[in-house]
Chain A
Amino acid sequence: MKPATQPSADWEIGSLSLSLEVVCSMAVNSLRQRIGRAVLTLLTICTATAFMMYLLTMPRSTDPVDIQSWRLMMILSLVVSGAGVLNTMLMSVTQRYREIGTMKCLGALDSFILYSVLLEAAILGLVGAFAGAIAGLIISILLALADHGGEVFRAMEIANLPGKLLFVFLVGMALTTLGALFPAFIASKMPPMDAMRGEK
């Protein structure tokens, strides 16, 4: 209780900050609590990146028509995984409008909402893309094994394999984070009262 008649020093408008550690632990906690959705998102990312990895390492013919369709599949895999991640992240944000509104009423900054949604997506992207890249490689090997038997590694496109793994992993991560960027931005800019009125 301080006299309102004297605009005192402790009424200087302060800044809010939140340590990275706290944001991280909250993101992990939020994922753990909504494990069902997290697994679903993981599956989307994992499937998409596995498909990409398979395309990169599968035995290829030099027929121009085949190369054409291979490119098309590559583009398709990017579009499908991008749309899938965008959709799941949008859903997960709309489901949480009320929660986001409450947090804003408690003093969460726009940037906090933005970072926490992005961070959750990045964690999912990290795990999903990693698992997907490995899974894609294994599928590719198994399928090639069925077709080519002992000749498997000569038939497959395994030149620069670590580079391909890294590439697929990074693309998977980037797609997930980009897919989450738009929903995260929408969520962070929402006025607290609108967010509170949102669906539960």
Chain B
Amino acid sequence: MTDFSEPDSTIRHSSLDTRHSADDTVEYTVMTRDVVKVYRMGDTEVRALDGVDVTIRTGEYISIMGPSGSGKTTLFNAIGGLMKPTSGNVFIDEIDVAQLDANELAWLRCRKIGYIFQSYNIVKVMTALENVTLPMLFGGVPPDEAQDRAVEILTRVGLGDRILHTPKELSGGQQQRVAIARAFANRPAIILADEPTANLDIHTGEEIIELMKEMNQERGVTVICSTHDHKMLDISDRIVWMRDGKVQKIANRADVDIEINTMKEKE
């Protein structure tokens, strides 16, 4: 499995070195440099992230895999500006997230990042339409325009006939579609999806994965998705494996295809 880590780490470092040069043709949206996150639990220190370097290209679909406790969610939160790393830097379009104050972080979360959660997190007292409108209102879009855009994007995710339903009246898969519409509403630079299919049955999960891939291609939005789901690998451009707070390896999908059967057998 370690076969892949060498060439990839070379790519990573060369990208770091050349990112300011004029002839650099590849665009990067997310870059982390030596990110460390230490949690204190009583007397013991837990290194949830232990020096993570990843570089994610614009428009890429990245899956982050790894057992629970491997630091997936922590990395995800660091990229999303939801928590500050103990040391290291997270760049989104060359902005160092760690340098931002509370209001700038709110702006980043609003305009540059769309979140999709395992448990959907649709605001319960609001309709699908209001949920999708919300981030646009936070972003200063006039209410009428926000509503038009929300209707358009809800129709795109297949909920055109359910825009006035509340979460109670929607199935899990439908709620996750609302969440996807909400995440894409502000035309963000990246989408962060934290195990979006973990609470769904296999069939619905596949539909959600497909929808996310379609939206990724249609809109050119970078998608970073943490997952346990092997089906996710098929549509990912690259896969990041994490273990014990470190990046174990990064592989292109083409390379993984060869391996995927042996991996399935192992588990």
Q: Which residues of A contact B (CB under 8 A)?
A: 1-5, 7, 11, 13-18, 22, 29-30, 33-34, 98-99, 101-110, 112, 191-193, 196
Contact = CB atoms under 8 A, between A and B. Distances in A.
Contact of B125 (A34, A106, A107): A34
Given A1-B59, A4-B27, A30 B125 contact: yes
Given A33-B125, A109-B138, 8 more contacts: A5-B24, A13-B108, A18-B137, A22-B143, A33-B126, A105-B82, A107-B107, A193-B83
Contacts of A196: 117, 121
Interface string B20-31: 110010011100
B254 interface: no
B58 interface: yes
Interface residues of B, number: 45
Given A17-B140, A30-B125, A191-B82, A106 B93 contact: no
Contacts of B172: none
A106 B24 contact: no
A106 B140 contact: no
Q: Which of A3, A4, A16, A29 has the most CB of B within 10 A?
A: A4
B123 A13 contact: no
B95 to A, nearest CB: 6
A186 to B, nearest CB: 15
A3 B220 CA distance: 13
B138 A107 contact: yes
Nearest to B188: A107
Nearest to A14: B107
A102 B106 contact: no
Contacts of B59: 1
B83 A16 contact: no
25 contacts: A1-B58, A2-B93, A4-B19, A4-B93, A7-B93, A13-B108, A16-B107, A16-B140, A18-B138, A29-B125, A29-B130, A105-B80, A105-B109, A106-B115, A107-B109, A107-B110, A108-B106, A109-B103, A109-B138, A110-B103, A191-B82, A192-B82, A192-B109, A193-B77, A196-B117
A106 B110 contact: yes
Contact of B103 (A7, A16, A34, A102): A16
A19 B28 CA distance: 35
Nearest to A110: B102
Nearest to A108: B138
B110 A191 contact: no
A105 B27 CA distance: 26
B196 interface: no
Contacts of B138: 16, 18, 103, 106-109, 112
Contacts of B58: 1, 4
B28 A4 contact: yes
B72 interface: no
A18 B136 CA distance: 10
Contacts of B134: 103, 106
Given A4-B28, A5-B19, A16 B110 contact: yes
A13 B21 CA distance: 24
Contacts of A109: 103, 106, 138
Contacts of A13: 95, 100, 104, 107-108
Nearest to B91: A4
A104 B143 CA distance: 19
Nearest to B134: A106
Contacts of A5: 19-21, 24, 27-28, 94
Contacts of B19: 4-5
